[in-house]
Chains A and B, each alone.
Chain A
Amino acid sequence: MRKHLSPGLVLLLLFFVAAAALPFFVDPRGHLLRVAAMALLFAAMAQSWNIVGGLANQVSLGHAAFFGLGAYTSTLLFLRFGISPWIGMFAGAALAAFAAALLSFPTFRLKGHYFALATLAFAEVLRVIANSWASVTGGPVGLSIPFLGTKPELFAFRAVSSYYWIILALLVIVCLAFRLLARGAIGYRLRAVRENENAAEVAGVDTFRVKLTASIISAAFTALCGTVFAQFTFFFDPDSIFALSGISVRMAMIAIVGGLGTLGGPIIGALFLIPLEEVANAYLSSAAAGLSQFVFGAILVAAILIQPRGLMAYWPKSKAGRLARKDAKPVTPATPATEGGR
């Protein structure tokens, strides 16, 4: 039991409590809360990605596909049939899970870069479909979430704080799912796949099935995030929701900068990157065109160069942290560098 209450976990629980209280201390309709909500949403997205990208090391660059499926499914069900986005979000999750299963058959035979490229292409295909099948998707003009005032049953609120708490709840659920998966039997199998897929197969792990399960769960959570994103930002179009740099890469980047395959990584990554980007935008975008993105990119590069294991390496009592500290010592022949040099 003691094992489950590591300092890191206590800190995480404290963070959730503090995050839940934040709206009481800032302007409930203001910009700060909106940025905080966006950071938490991206944390939830990166955590969803982390299930397949971190645990199984299947680096997907196409998670925007599931994100967009979630946003489109719930929004179209609401606009065309009046079905509440609360129900629509689960329809979107089911559809994304199905799409993930379908995508797994051809792509899981691919390794490394080829897998990344195949997933990237999948998101691009969905973008083109959403763009050209205008009679169903609304086409390139995009979809607006109608302005309804506060209607909780239709996922519509005036105050940012309502969205904020929903996003926080989603993040807690995704984190819980991640921890259960990582700690459960499937987590060990996924790690076996990550370390050496052939060895795992020989040891009796049904590697395809394990990866399939992880990617279905990951896709479903990503779709839930997509619905919440659509409701929260009120508008999306094919280019923005299926975006490579804006969504797919960002999900992976947050998890990587924070700490790949760790529970806290996506949260720290999102809390670091999203406000940073916002600050860069707020203070530099009027100075010179593109300067804000340049500064943001430079800080990102620096972060990865300084700590390739991600910010989680500074987290107390974490596996990544221990490893990073071990790495920091002068390498003696007694400490094999396989883990770090891989």
Chain B
Amino acid sequence: MTVISANRRRALAVLLGATVLATGIGAGGARAADEVVVGVVQPLSGPNAQFGIGSLRGTELAADMINAAGGIKSLGGAKIKLVVADVPTPNTAAATTQRLISQNGVSAVVGAFVSSTTLAASEVTERAGIPLVTFAFADQITGRGYKYAFQVSPKGTVFGAAQFDYAMAIAKAAGEKIDKVAILYEDTAYGTAQAQGLRDAAKKAGVQVVMDEAYPLGITDVAPLVNKLKASGAQMAFPVSYLNDGLLIIRSLRQQQIDMPVIGGAAGYIIPDFKKGLGDYAEGVISVAAAGGDLIPDLAAKYKEKYGTFITHEALIHAAALDAVAKAMEKAKSSDPEKVRDALATLDDCTGLAQGVPGGCVKFDATGLNTSAFPIMVQWRGDELVTVYPEKAAKSKPMWHGKPIP
């Protein structure tokens, strides 16, 4: 009896010890002197997976391009090595980011696409003194006075305002006077932030918001929403949604023969699956975006060749984000996180992959926000997205109710 229980105890101790120790394996692993390690946290599984995967592709393509062009020259041509971690929910962001920092010794972290996950990760990078370069929209990311958080694209409220102002400008150019609009948004951090921007912009422009409605992420029946939209008398609709809800809304609208202009709020409206899911209904849908492939045709072509679809804005911005990290290392002549952070803070770069960002440059202000970036409007033409507004970035004139604006 005692022998058995002693054996059992030993077996148990070994089992527990092994599981605990296993997490430590890889700690302090030797790093080749000719490479610099950058952490990538993205939602590669779960509801935001397709955006995370797009973001990762952009980052990987950028790393390949930088490495093929000779790596970090001031560090003897050191190659960039990406350490990728899947962060499907904010709950795991802190632990995962900590792992990248203490086990992989990353010089910087790129990513997280989803605002809440990025906010969670930024709390760890800030405490650890590791620069975090992100595409996430939430205003809070660079609104908290943090030193190590850098936002490559404009904030969520700026996107909301641009979605409204740009659409009004396009409608005006088309000769249509808009005085009633509808706002529909999913009740996530991104949806509410952007809806706030839309609301404020509408108020400022003196336009009546006849419908202002939040709906839960993962909504399956949009008929009440669409009926309400139809009855509201709105001349233009601003939905802010990820993919499935966006598809449902547009399909229901078009099936009911409502040809009201729809101005999407980025995310689900500007990925290849939108066209796949909607077919011809996608044609002419306009959306705000953080970047467009036609701004940097060279990168867009490489992306299409490698992955078979057009480059999405999350891929473009993450490519620029990694590029910024690489240039900061180049400038700092170091991969020390503190020095990389200082170099990022003073970076003023308008070359290479930074051109994918509207405005063409990456230059951060004191809060860590890229001051030269601005949102753009893209429109579905066949299988591609075309940048149509503002004029300084546009590659084509916008179409309104299926007709080109004179």
Contacts and interface: CB of A to CB of B under 8 A. Distances in A.
Interface in B51-109: 53, 83-86, 88-96, 98-99, 101-103
User: What is the predominant secondary structure among interface residues of chain B facing chain A?
Assistant: helix
B406 interface: no
Contacts of A247: 91
Given A34-B98, A293-B45, A235 B123 contact: yes
A170 to B, nearest CB: 18
B187 A132 contact: yes
Contacts of B96: 281
Interface string A279-301: 10110011001101100000000
A139 interface: yes
Interface string A126-143: 001001101000011110
A145 B127 CA distance: 12
B214 A316 contact: no
Contact of A275 (B5, B19, B89, B94): B19
User: What is the predominant secondary structure among interface residues of chain A facing chain B?
Assistant: helix
Contacts of B93: 235
Contact of A285 (B24, B85, B102): B85
A276 B86 CA distance: 15
A144 B119 contact: yes
Interface stretch (B188-196, B223-231, B236-244, B309-317): B188-196
Given A31-B103, A32-B23, A235 B85 contact: no
B20 interface: yes
A227 to B, nearest CB: 15
Given A27-B102, A132-B214, A240 B91 contact: yes
Looking at chain B, what size class is its interface with the partner chain? Answer: 35 or more
B45 A289 contact: yes
B116 interface: yes
B366 interface: no
A34 to B, nearest CB: 5
Interface residues of A, number: 54
A271 B20 contact: yes
A141 B214 CA distance: 14
A139 B92 CA distance: 20
A246 B124 CA distance: 20
A26 B5 contact: no
A57 B86 CA distance: 35
A316 B9 contact: yes
A275 B20 CA distance: 6
B98 A290 contact: no
A147 B19 contact: no
Interface of A: 7, 11, 26-27, 29-32, 34-36, 38, 128, 131-132, 134, 139-142, 144-145, 147, 158, 232-237, 239-240, 243, 246-247, 268, 271-272, 275-276, 278-279, 281-282, 285-286, 289-290, 292-293, 314-317
Q: Which 7 A-B pairs have the closest CB atoms?
A: A285-B86, A234-B123, A290-B45, A286-B84, A235-B120, A316-B5, A289-B44
